Structure 1
Amino acid sequence: MTESDRRGDRPCRQPQMCRRTLLRGAQASVISLLTAKTLPLVRAQALPRETADHKIRIAPISLEIAPGKIIKTTAYNGTVPGPALRVREGQPVRIEVANDSGYPNLIHSHGLMIPSQQDGATEEGSPIIEPGKSLTYEYVAKPTGTRWYHSHAMSMTDLNKGTYTGEFGFLIVEPAAGDPGGYDREVLLAAHHWDGHWVSMQDVKKGPPPDNGLEVMYHAATLGDRMLGHGEPIRVRQGERVLFRVLNASGNMGISLALPGHRFKVLALDGNPVPLSSTVDILKLDVAERADVIVEMNNPGVWVFGSTEDEDRNMGMGVVVEYAGRNGKPIWSAPGKSKWDYTAFGHSDAPAAAPDETIDLKFEKIPGGRGGYNRWTINGKSWPDTNPLFTVAEGKRYRLVLNNNSGDEHPVHLHRHSFEITKVGDKPTSGVIKDTISMPRYSTAEVDFVADDPGLTFFHCHHQDHMDEGFAGLITYG
């Protein structure tokens, strides 16, 4: 599918898959009118270069993730991850983007409360950046915390576009005043999977039923900028308190990480401080999730900080942590089994505020069959027929009852808003604020958000293939 298809310049060859096509007929007119009335126009031309706080060039690169292992991909400013952008909460920021990727593109600032047209999603009215053109995003940075920026281009079956590529980086919103403190140094680690190809799962599993469609399989992975054992180690000193900001920037793969002989004290999830700073042995992050964790360096040695899955770690998902004065082969020791539980970081004895309205959302898959593309539905409909998903009134609190009625995991993301997790399965909780929640297979959860950022709001699964296959919808303000 071409970028012209997704913008509606020509008929889509797969109408049910065209998540970029907005509402048809009268509904499209309503959304166009809403956009015109509520959203400021983004600048069509780049500002003078000297006025930009940050400059990003999207362009192809050859990325060496291990000796002789070259990945041809697209990146920001020639590095993967892209440059870490640091901005101050409450301050205006201008990010100038030059698109030399060779295809229509745009950048989404993930986890920020910003106007729809600055958000970097065409579904919300953000303009596309044509090849060879530039555009400057302008907004006031908020809220404080670990955010990130990434491509929001449609990929379909092209694994050289969108979040399958190296187009991602950290976006840190620093507090307006004060020093967060509490640690000696900071390390940014982004996970990503590489060298993927499409397969029919029936061919992999060698058995019936031949109903599930295409899935992506990978052959390489990184935690940081190189495969495990091929980059510079993280060098630490005994007694240091290290703040790790960890991001899962993969296209469609969840990760579980451990550092043998050490534990993670979780301070924040998706950039937002948790009510209870619980300490865990395993850090589980679905696609787009972030965690800020403190590790006390009190077990000298040379260790592997990596995936708990042997297959993932063998593909390169890990990094070496080396204490000063220590050398030798890095040690990996599998941690005991541990279930990731959002409620461990929230309040179990203080119920969340009552919502003004409750909305049920059920997620299901329509298998594509051997060699075919799956299709995902929300309440029985796929993008664009999901629109509007529902309409909100500014200032009201909405509870989304999420039902993953499928055998796949889904990191469900709400643009331009944060939500409070109020129930996981049958366990009520409160106080954990996120913008992405992982929904394991055949699971339920409830999240509350306040409609406090008017404008078109995109809701979708952050697995690139699931989003492209119809798992998306627009929330509109009335």
Structure 2
Amino acid sequence: MTKPHLSRRRLIGSTAALAAATALPMPLWARGRSLTHANQGFGSVSGEDIKLAIGDHHFSTGGRSGHAIAVNGTVPGPLIRLKEGQDVRLHVTNNLNEDSSIHWHGLLLPFQFDGVPGVSFPGIKPGQTFTYEFPVRQNGTYWWHSHSGLQEQAGHYGPIIIESAEPDPRYDRDYIVLLSEFTPIHPHEIMRKLKVGEHYFQRQMNSAVEGDLSGAERRMWGNMRMNPRDISDVTGSTYTYLINGHGPADDLQLEFKPGERVRLRVINGSAMTFFNVRIPGVAMTVIQADGKDVEEVEIDEFQIGTAETYDVIVQPKDGSHAIVAEAMDRSGMGIASLTSHKGHTATPPPLRKIPTLTMTDMGMMDHAAMGHDMGDIGDMDHNMRDTSLLPADVKVGPGIDMVAPMPTDRMDFPGLGLDKVAHRALRYTDLKAKRMNPHREIDREMEIHLTGNMERYMWSFDGKKFTSVTDDPIRFGYNERVRVKLVNQTMMAHPIHLHGHFFEMVNGADHMHQPLKHTMVVQPGGTATFDLTANEPGDWAFHCHLLYHMHAGMMQVVTVRPFPESAKS
């Protein structure tokens, strides 16, 4: 039995050691200010037998510090490096005083090792060790995180890199860029505050009515008891935004040599944040989405939803360049420097103007943009609350306080705040699978509605809050080909994740080149569609990856049956 190869580093005392651990395939450095706590940053584990230990921790960055949950003593936890075609056994020991788990996000594996308590296994009790064991059937950029309670918010997450059996000659240097947040507030206290008042963490809402809107628009939003800057539930008022576990004050630096092509594996490992990612003055070429190869597309900025990954190649000029991960509501940003000068940091750009929601985000025609009269505000408010517009299988009740009267396909929308930038912003419609998909006719079509009551902080699918695996699951026959249309009845974007599978986004590409994804953002008041071949038997979680939305009920179980003969042994 091969013993796990553990990083020599047990305690990372500087950003230099951090980037050495996160750079692939050769050890690289990053240099910055010393950190106040030795265990900030993460190491690397690999091999066929890997040991992971979950425990309590203390984390500090900038002016914020507080309790965290660490894995192998670090926040984020270690990079797990695997190779396509190998077998792996991951021995996870829970040293917390509460149950825990690890879900391997985006990995194809037997469902009993997917790591979702109450769905695919019981969870890991305090003091116990659970061994996940499966063959590695893919390559690419992925990540792992807790699926127990709200532990993911507290630091229980980390990256996964699976090396391809076929080397890629397109780049010379390889870095992880893991985006996340830190807050000293306990996640259960955040959830309590959101239930008491969903605007608790928002500090930018009132200013929206001053200069951005006409008088008619202000009256319209006021009468609807909504705010056009109701963008993010939890914001920079409590979050410090992190790159590789480092806040802006930590001066994280990633080195390159002039002329080198650098691969950046961008992972959104946050609990609640959409990030707009750019390197001012440096073009990015997207080569993978959610670990799957796509045709190369050159862009200047992309929005990444919670739980998505994008791999890009850049070729920066000599000097220092800011890697900017700006929160979608522009309440803060994560910062690192891509530099060819050891010890030099780039000056980050200022935060941009806060974006404002439009009637399109409410699932209505944008009357102001079309130059029309705002019409009868009372009628508009009535239409947005008219549950008779919903299909009969959507449960109508206190869990729904908004209906999108005219939801439209928004796959071509680059994300809030990026639709009017002068440079190239990535859209889902830009993505095409690099390898041809098998040709399959659609066997069945279904529609799922994303529903919520923002004031009461209730979130659901089809108006039905998830409570247990025995609740009416979404049923697919093994190897059935289903077209699933997601209809967002809310004014917030939702990153929807299906465990255990990759689906094909119906984004305008021909059906043989629809891009494969495991997580897809459904824009406010819009629709998004995917084609799924349900070829992974078992019970799988299906949920919004905004942590507090999932915790509030926006989750369901997908069950794929029967098991094929080859999987019954």
Q: Is TM (by shorter chain) over 0.5?
A: yes
Distance in 2 of aligned mates of 1:292 and 1:327: 25
Identify the residue that residue 112 of structure 1 maps to in structure 2: 107
Q: Is the 8 A contact 2:280 2:321 kept in 1?
A: yes
Matched, 1:191 2:176: no
Q: TM-score normalised to the size of structure 1?
A: 0.79
- Structure 1 residues 278 and 457, CA gap change in structure 2 (3 angstroms): same
Matched, 1:59 2:55: yes
Identify the residue that residue 144 of structure 1 maps to in structure 2: 139
Paired letter, 1:171: I
Alpha-carbon offset, residue 330 of structure 1: 2.3
Alpha-carbon offset, residue 338 of structure 1: 4.8
Q: Is the 8 A contact 2:327 2:333 kept in 1?
A: no
1:365-380, aligned counterparts within 5 Å? 365-367=452-454, 369=455, 372=456, 374-380=457-463
Identify the residue that residue 71 of structure 2 maps to in structure 1: 76
Paired letter, 1:303: H
Tell me the secondary structure at the aligned position of residue 558 of structure 2.
strand
User: Among residues 293, 300, 309, which one is paired with 1:273 in the alignment?
Assistant: 293
1:18-417, aligned counterparts within 5 Å? 53-66=49-62, 68-155=63-150, 162-175=151-164, 177-195=165-183, 197=190, 198-199=193-194, 200-202=197-199, 204=202, 205=205, 215-217=233-235, 218-274=238-294, 276-297=295-316, 299-308=317-326, 312=330, 315-324=332-341, 327=344, 330-332=347-349, 336=422, 338-346=424-432, 353-367=440-454, 369=455, 372=456, 374-384=457-467, 387-417=471-501
Distance in 1 of aligned mates of 2:463 and 2:307: 25
Alpha-carbon offset, residue 140 of structure 1: 1.0
- Structure 1 residues 265 and 71, CA gap change in structure 2 (3 angstroms): farther
Q: Deviations over 1:167-186 (max 9, x none)?
A: 111112222x3322321111
Tell me the secondary structure at the aligned position of residue 538 of structure 2.
coil
Alpha-carbon offset, residue 385 of structure 1: 7.6
Alpha-carbon offset, residue 303 of structure 1: 2.1
Distance in 2 of aligned mates of 1:309 and 1:366: 24
Alpha-carbon offset, residue 210 of structure 1: 6.5
Distance in 2 of aligned mates of 1:180 and 1:339: 25
Q: Deviations over 1:352-400 (max 9, x none)?
A: 7431111111111123x3xx4x212222322138933321111221111
Paired letter, 2:427: D
- Structure 1 residues 428 and 412, CA gap change in structure 2 (3 angstroms): farther
Paired letter, 1:438: V
Q: Is the 8 A contact 1:225 1:231 kept in 2?
A: no
Q: Deviations over 1:139-181 (max 9, x none)?
A: 11122211111000123xxxxxx22121111112222x33223
Structure 2 residues without counterparts, runs of 5 or longer:
1-46, 207-221, 353-420, 562-569
Tell me the secondary structure at the aligned position of residue 317 of structure 1.
strand
Paired letter, 1:122: P
Tell me the secondary structure at the aligned position of residue 57 of structure 1.
strand
Alpha-carbon offset, residue 137 of structure 1: 0.7
- Structure 1 residues 147 and 219, CA gap change in structure 2 (3 angstroms): closer
Alpha-carbon offset, residue 82 of structure 1: 1.4
Tell me the secondary structure at the aligned position of residue 423 of structure 1.
coil
| Number of residue pairs aligned between Structure 1 and Structure 2 | 410
Alpha-carbon offset, residue 326 of structure 1: 8.5
Alpha-carbon offset, residue 283 of structure 1: 2.2
Q: Is the 8 A contact 2:111 2:120 kept in 1?
A: yes
Q: Is the 8 A contact 1:229 1:319 kept in 2?
A: no
Structure 1 residues without counterparts, runs of 5 or longer:
1-50, 156-161
Distance in 2 of aligned mates of 1:385 and 1:84: 32
Paired letter, 1:296: Q
Alpha-carbon offset, residue 331 of structure 1: 4.8
Alpha-carbon offset, residue 102 of structure 1: 2.5
User: Among residues 520, 523, 547, which one is paired with 1:464 in the alignment?
Assistant: 547
Distance in 1 of aligned mates of 2:328 and 2:91: 41
Paired letter, 1:104: D
Identify the residue that residue 158 of structure 1 maps to in structure 2: none
Q: Is the 8 A contact 1:146 1:271 kept in 2?
A: yes
Paired letter, 1:324: H
Q: Deviations over 1:214-236 (max 9, x none)?
A: 94333311112211241341111
Distance in 1 of aligned mates of 2:348 and 2:554: 41
User: Among residues 502, 523, 537, which one is paired with 1:440 in the alignment?
Assistant: 523
Tell me the secondary structure at the aligned position of residue 515 of structure 2.
strand
Tell me the secondary structure at the aligned position of residue 122 of structure 1.
coil
Identity over aligned pairs, percent: 27
Paired letter, 1:256: N
Tell me the secondary structure at the aligned position of residue 482 of structure 2.
strand
Paired letter, 2:431: F
Q: Is the 8 A contact 1:71 1:194 kept in 2?
A: no
Alpha-carbon offset, residue 346 of structure 1: 1.9
Paired letter, 1:406: T
Tell me the secondary structure at the aligned position of residue 306 of structure 1.
strand
Tell me the secondary structure at the aligned position of residue 250 of structure 2.
coil
| Aligned Cα root-mean-square deviation (Å) | 2.9
Q: TM-score normalised to the size of structure 2?
A: 0.67
